[in-house]
Amino acid sequence: MNIGTLLTKSARTFPQNLAVACGSRRWTYARFNERVNGLANAFARLGIGRGVHVAILMQNLPEMLESMFACFKLGAAAVPINFRLHPNEFAFVIDHSESEVVVISSEFNAPISQIKDRLPRVRHVVTIAGAQERMLDYETLIRAEHAAFADVDVAPDDVAWVFYTSGTTAQPKGALLTHRNLLAMTMNFYSDICQGFGPDDVVLHAAPLSHGSGLYALPNVGKAAANVIPETISFDVDRILEAVERYRVTNMFAAPTMVKRMAECPALHRYDLRSLKILNYGGAPMLAEDLRIAIEELGPCLVQLYGQGESPMTITYMPHSDHVLNGTSQQMKRLSSVGFARTDVEVKILDDEGYQLPTGGIGQIVTRSDMVMKGYWRNPRATADALKDGWLHTGDVGYMDEDGYVFLLDRSKDLIISGGENIYPREIEEVLVRHTAVFEVAVIGVPHPEWGEAVKAVVVPNPGCEVSGDELIDFCKGRIASFKKPGSVDFVEELPKNNYGKIVKNLIRAPYWEDRQSKVI
Ligand code: AMP
């Protein structure tokens, strides 16, 4: 099925349901579908059809969802781009993806005009307001067209979304997600993450629509649920909590850093959050101590997911029932896991030679399912590295316990090798974050003349807290093996994060390694 047909069907069955709310703009499913159909007709007139790539560069706005669905219905591939990227970065994605059309929000009119000459493949720029020379106006295009459109028949393996990775380790790569991948992800959401999800649900898009929140718009549209898009560019925790209360939000996705800010918001209990059934978090590690606080403060709404762009949002999950405060020691230990394989997903742990490891063996996490991407766009070498015999090699290192719970230790590139011992930074971070003076921490390897690498903790202290490096090193004693405790601690005001709120360890490492690029990257 064409993934865009999710919208066509919801508009037929639930025409009067609220589809999108953003500030004063509120569209029913009937209206949303008509606008998408108008845009699909306009795109077709511009020569966009099956297999063509369309870049979408805008803030979280309803037009982002419209443009994505217009592409799906046409059999074209959407290339959503994070609006916080630097012009050089979005120029790279537009050019590399060979997009023929770029749809932008008005703040990109000037930047795109400036780089247009570096984008020879782009035939049209469509802007949602304030069109400049050589640009088309979005609303004018829609108004000129019919509000009916017959969704194009696609093959299940046709590409629907070119998902550019966030590039925390190297140049971004375009994961090719097919209609089959996205439909399987959607069905999996209903079966594991949010059973009973339906037309009365209200979903808040607090995270970028170009990433997780946009992927999760698909199950919302498939069940005619409401999509609430806050009118704030940054993650303003008070406005997000206010929106949950005002719209009676039932479901949202947030990065762990956002969940932490919600749980630790001083005004949290002023808001009525009782409608919130599911707070889905993932995309980066959630340290057990942060999770404990979140369970305490936010109640029984948390569900963890582990996925990556190459297997969108879907490898393992940790359901509500595992989010406990006073469980057995095994249950408490599992708070630092990423849960177990999703219903129709296989997960294995492999050693360096590619052999499956027994329970508890530490190696690379691999996965096989209908969610796994077709490959990377124009990157056969990276595709061959990532996909072997149908198994996606995630680049994440971890182990599985006897009940199938997966413990993700780190990205393989973040592993520290000190005196021949493998040290997983996450284990040390889990300890340090329990110290009352520590707000956030990243543990990295720094050069050491004798051991190759030494362990360093880079710490953001809690406001008003005084603590010394020696005190924190002492705190690790008796809690982890001695060789793992940091040899040194540096204090910083904040840790560098990428546009999705993930801590970027290569940027933290860079000053310590200077010219030894291999470790920095
Ligand atoms: P991206 O493709 O940008 O979504 O990044 C995917 C990567 O984020 C994964 O390969 C993991 O390293 C990390 N990640 C995703 N979900 C989790 C999670 N629940 N816990 C820890 N790390 C995660």
The maximal CA–CA distance of the chain, rounded, in angstroms, is 71
- Whose structure tokens read 């970027």? 504
Residue 171 alpha carbon to ligand 1 centre in Å: 17
Give per-residue pLDDT as tens, 153-192: 999 999 999 999 866 556 789 999 999 999 999 999 999 9
Give per-residue pLDDT as tens, 5-46: 999 999 999 999 999 999 999 999 999 999 999 999 999 999
- What's the confidence (pLDDT) of residue 43? 98
Are the C-beta atoms of 50 and 77 separated by less than 8 Å? Answer: no
Task: Tell the residue nearest (CA) to atom 6 of ligand 1.
Answer: 308
With the most atoms of ligand 1 within 8 angstroms of its CB, the residue from 162, 365, 396, 413 to mutate is: 396
pTM higher than 0.75, yes or no?
A: yes
Residue 29 alpha carbon to ligand 1 centre in Å: 32
The fraction of the chain above a pLDDT of 90, given in percent, is 83
What is the CB neighbour count within 10 angstroms for residue 179? Answer: 22
Confidence band, pLDDT 50/70/90 cuts, at residue 521: very low
How many residues does the structure list for the chain? Answer: 521
Task: Tell the residue nearest (CA) to atom 9 of ligand 1.
Answer: 308
The mean pLDDT of 280-289, rounded to a whole number, is 91
Q: Dihedrals φ, ψ of 258, to 5°?
A: -70, -40
Cα distance between residue 300 and residue 204, in whole Å: 18
The mean pLDDT of 363-373, rounded to a whole number, is 97
What single letter denotes the amino acid at residue 261? R
What's the burial of 233, exposed, middle or buried (CB within 10 Å: 0-12/13-18/19+)? exposed
Are the C-beta atoms of 55 and 97 separated by less than 8 Å? Answer: yes
Report residue 474 CA to chain centroid gap: 36
Give per-residue pLDDT as tens, 317-339: 999 999 999 999 999 999 999 99
The two counts, helices (H) then strands (E), for the chain are: 18, 26
Residue 364 alpha carbon to ligand 1 centre in Å: 14
* Beta carbon of 285 within 6 Å of any ligand 1 atom: yes
Task: Tell the residue nearest (CA) to atom 10 of ligand 1.
Answer: 308
- Whose structure tokens read 């509120």? 26
The mean pLDDT of 486-509, rounded to a whole number, is 89
Are the C-beta atoms of 197 and 51 separated by less than 8 Å? Answer: no
What single letter denotes the amino acid at residue 428? I
Q: Give the best-scoring range by mean pLDDT among 97-106, 278-287, 451-460.
A: 97-106
What is the CB neighbour count within 10 angstroms for residue 157? Answer: 11
